[in-house]
Amino acid sequence: MSANQNRRDFLKKTTAASVGIGLLGSNGYKAFSTPASEKLVVGIMGVNSRGSALATGFTKTPEIEVAYICDVDDNAMANGLKAVANAGQKKAPKAVKDFRKILDDKGVDALVIAAPDHWHAPASLLALSAGKNVYVEKPGSHNPYEGEMVASASMKYGKVVKMGNQRRSWPFVAEALGELKNGIIGNVYLAKGWYANTRASIGYGKVAPIPTGLDYDMWQGPAPRMPYKDNLIHYNWHWFWHWGTGELLNNGTHFVDLCRLGLGVEFPTKVSSQGGRYAYKDDWQTPDTQMTLWDFAGNKTISWEGRSCNGHKLEGESAGVSFHGENGTLVIDGNSYVVYDNQDKLIKRASAETTGKPLDATGPGFDLDADHIADFYKSIKEGKTPVSDYKDSRKSVLLCHLGNISQRVGRSLNCNPENGNVIGDDEAMALWKRSYEPGWEPKV
């Protein structure tokens, strides 16, 4: 029996059954011809960066047709259309600046959302109310209340809502989670996630004319109106609380999610976060240095270290997760993992290279997105719960939101372990939701 077959059998027996995040595919996923009448028809909202990668991935999945490309910026729109064409779809998608035109098309099955964070939940809710399934990039919400709303709406409308934290579908990540569940290092009590980068200062933005081809009013959408500044679009919005959620939700969501799954926990009893904007003095509002802790019932803890402006690696990697238990340590690095005993002796190493079929794990390429996208199709067409179902993955996102709330109020939070709500802190709970531009208030 081949190594790949062993891995597939292992995933089926352990990960789907015991980790509880759905039946994963394999990166040996086979393309097949699909009649046009059976294809999943999607529109993609937001194609400047990650959205263009998704446009490529959805187009390359033969069971899917990309019918619309939507972006508020003409230049980004052109990039999205080019991505679909380069990925091999002969029929050009329609180009629209207002995603609601996609929702009006009864022939569209799903909306794919890769717009900025402040759009994730409002767009998801509008799509669900229009009868569409949703694939939304992480974090899927700008605040905890929005996450609750989308989870409720997915049940109300009976549609699939899947989050794009694709590491759940990476084969050796899934295998590692299965190994933890099966006791490879015994009782696991600590999980550590980290992300390190060396981002430059964003300076002080100036109010400036809106660039030609950009519909800034639509870009703001549900967020209360703010003047256009020249250091905001298309990426630096991440570092402003008004639109973004900081590094903890920008990159931390991926790794805190794996921490939570590996520990087998849901809602915390206590959250604390410290740090700040240390590296530069500029418009950046969210922390560039953040240390966050979550405690759970049963003597389990998650820690997160985020360094946006100092890229020194941990465990030899700029991003990863480590699990520590009574019998040793397991470290997940990209689409691979290693296991050590308590004498720090290497006892197992697993990666795509060991199978003789290495994959491109250097960025959001199709190799490692393929299973996650294919699972979205199968979940809709076969009525299965998707890997990274929103109702489950939003629990990991909530941990990150709670970390930011603790950071912003400057103290630890006591939480209800049944739902994650903050106990006895009205100031913290005031950050549970946000205000909206009149006329854009989301609803279930």
Residue 274 pLDDT greater than 80, yes or no: yes
> Which of the 8 DSSP states describes residue 38?
G
Helix (H) or strand (E) holding 147: helix 144-157
| Nearest alpha-carbon partner for 101 in 126, 78, 75, 83 | 126
Work out the end-to-end distance of the chain between its first and last CA atoms, rounded to an integer number of angstroms. 50
Residue 413 pLDDT greater than 80, yes or no: yes
What single string gives the DSSP state of each residue in 282-308?
SS--S-SEEEEEEEETTTEEEEEEEES
Rounded Cα–Cα distance for residues 240 and 242 (Å): 5
pLDDT at position 321 is 98
Share of residues in the chain with pLDDT > 70 (%): 89
Assess contact for 168 and 3: CB atoms under 8 A: no
Assess contact for 24 and 11: CB atoms under 8 A: yes
Report, as an integer, the average pLDDT of 400-419: 98
Task: Scan for tokens 């270290």, then name that residue.
Answer: 305
Assess contact for 161 and 110: CB atoms under 8 A: no
Report, as an integer, the average pLDDT of 80-100: 97
| Nearest alpha-carbon partner for 111 in 85, 132, 86 | 132
The confidence band for 5, taking pLDDT boundaries of 50, 70 and 90, is very low
> Which of the 8 DSSP states describes residue 17?
I
Report, as an integer, the average pLDDT of 94-107: 98
The confidence band for 1, taking pLDDT boundaries of 50, 70 and 90, is very low
- ω into 234 cis (within 30 of 0): yes
Report, as an integer, the average pLDDT of 282-309: 98
Rounded Cα–Cα distance for residues 210 and 303 (Å): 41
Length in residues, the chain = 444
CA distances from 84 to 60, 126, 326, 333 (A): 8, 25, 49, 30
Tokens of 119: 């759009």
The confidence band for 150, taking pLDDT boundaries of 50, 70 and 90, is very high
pLDDT at position 128 is 98
- ω into 287 cis (within 30 of 0): no
List pLDDT tens digits, range 203-245. Answer: 999 999 999 999 999 999 999 999 999 999 999 999 999 999 9
Dihedral-angle region of residue 258 (phi above 0 means left; psi in -120 to 50 means alpha; beta otherwise) = alpha
Three-state SS for 196-213 is ECECCCCCCCCECCCCCC
Rounded Cα–Cα distance for residues 338 and 348 (Å): 6
At 63, the amino acid letter reads: E
List pLDDT tens digits, range 338-368. Answer: 999 999 999 999 998 766 555 554 444 556 7
pLDDT at position 320 is 97
Report, as an integer, the average pLDDT of 311-315: 95
pLDDT at position 219 is 98
Average pLDDT value for the chain: 91
How many CA atoms within 13 Å lie on the side-chain side of 257? 28
pLDDT at position 38 is 87
Q: Could you state, in order of their start, the residue ranges of all structural domains in the chain?
A: 23-167, 171-204+218-361+390-429
Rounded Cα–Cα distance for residues 27 and 4 (Å): 10
CA angle 294, 295, 299 (to 5 degrees): 145
pLDDT at position 10 is 37
- ω into 139 cis (within 30 of 0): yes
Q: How many CB atoms are located within 10 Å of the residue 385 CB?
A: 16
Dihedral of alpha carbons 100, 106, 107, 109, sign:
positive
Task: Scan for tokens 């899917």, then name that residue.
Answer: 64
Residue 18 pLDDT greater than 60, yes or no: no
Rounded Cα–Cα distance for residues 121 and 127 (Å): 10
Assess contact for 312 and 194: CB atoms under 8 A: no
The confidence band for 115, taking pLDDT boundaries of 50, 70 and 90, is very high
The confidence band for 32, taking pLDDT boundaries of 50, 70 and 90, is very low
The confidence band for 25, taking pLDDT boundaries of 50, 70 and 90, is very low
pLDDT at position 255 is 98
Assess contact for 134 and 124: CB atoms under 8 A: yes
How many CA atoms within 13 Å lie on the side-chain side of 13? 8
The confidence band for 33, taking pLDDT boundaries of 50, 70 and 90, is low
CATH of 171-204+218-361+390-429, one of 3.40.50.1240, 3.30.360.10, 3.40.50.300, 3.40.30.10: 3.30.360.10
Residue 24 pLDDT greater than 50, yes or no: no
CATH of 23-167, one of 1.10.260.40, 3.30.70.141, 3.40.47.10, 3.40.50.720: 3.40.50.720
Tokens of 81: 């259309």
